[in-house]
Amino acid sequence: MIKKIVVCGALGHIGSRFIRTLPDQYPGVKVVMLDNLSSQRYSSLFNLPSHGHFRFFEKDVMAADLVPLFDGADLVLQLAAITNAAGSFEIREKVERENYLVTERVAQACLQVGAALINISSTSVYGTQKDVVDENCGADDLQPQSPYAETKLREEQLLTALGRSEGLRFVTCRFGTIFGVSPGMRFHTAVNKFCWQAVTGQPITVWRTALNQVRPYLDLEEAVSALHFIIRNDLFDGNIYNVLTTNSTVKDILDVIRSHVDDIAIEYVDTKIMNQLSYHVANQRFRNQGFESHGDLGRGIADTIALLRGVRS
């Protein structure tokens, strides 16, 4: 029986939706939410389920005394991070602090209280010219193309070491690029950003040469389902799992948006990320555990556009 769950970075895109599902999934569970509110997503706390047992702490995970907050927790979900890969080049030191060092502190506190840890990494750790990559790929295929991705790969290596040396119970999920609706949703990554630009009448900004690149994407609904699958199955086995809904091209995404919004325009832009890379990410390892995928790119885009409809007359 799950009695207490701690969510670090609880008010972001993933966390704000995940926390709302907890009272129904684990009746009576105590939900501790930590967030420094640097993104000012106060609205993520609005209208939480009335039958839930929620407690929010405005804390910087890097500075807070985590042990009392984690005490008694069955598991901790680590979502506290800077997630803007393209914007991470100018803030390397900040990304190091708020991603890698924060995860290190969370892991050490989990060890002290005996809590399991779900750490969210990213499929952006892959940087390869191979057509298909999976969790068994070699170091040559792990060539992160941004400071954000570099810290995520180092986090994975840190947790693996702590699992071997200290007995940390953890699992790492390499999430594809998130799309879909939540109270704390973000709009700086491909699908949601494209939807925002299309609905507000702006040109859709696409990285130059990226139109036909294949990349992994993850429906937020499926991301939440994956987290519950891990919890229900006690899947804290020290493994890394790719979690994604689809491998799609930018053109695939734009074609779906065009079915909802007329007359979209494309503007090609440059980026510091090596944008010539195109690859499929395989998620068979997670599916072999019994997880069934029900995410849908079309539905996620439709839901996001429907939410934004009132923006444009």
Which backbone phi and psi does 189 adopt, to 5 degrees? -110, 165
pLDDT tens digits, 178-236: 999 999 998 988 899 999 999 999 999 888 777 888 889 999 999 999 999 999 999 99
Domain ranges of the chain: 4-178+218-244, 190-214+247-280+290-311
Fold held by 190-214+247-280+290-311:
UDP-galactose 4-epimerase; domain 1 (3.90.25)
Torsion of CA 189, 104, 37, 113, to 10 degrees: 130
Q: If you average pLDDT over residues 231-258, what whole number do you get?
A: 96
Percent pLDDT > 70 in the chain is 90
pLDDT tens digits, 283-293: 999 999 999 98
CA 199 to chain centre: 24
DSSP-derived 3-state class of residue 252: helix
Burial (Cβ within 10 Å: 0-12, 13-18, ≥19) of residue 176: buried
Question: Given pLDDT bands bounded at 50, 70 and 90, which one contains residue 39?
Answer: confident
Fold held by 4-178+218-244:
Rossmann fold (3.40.50)
Distances (CA, A) of 76 to 120, 211, 240, 247: 11, 38, 17, 29
Distance CA 32, CA 260 (A): 39
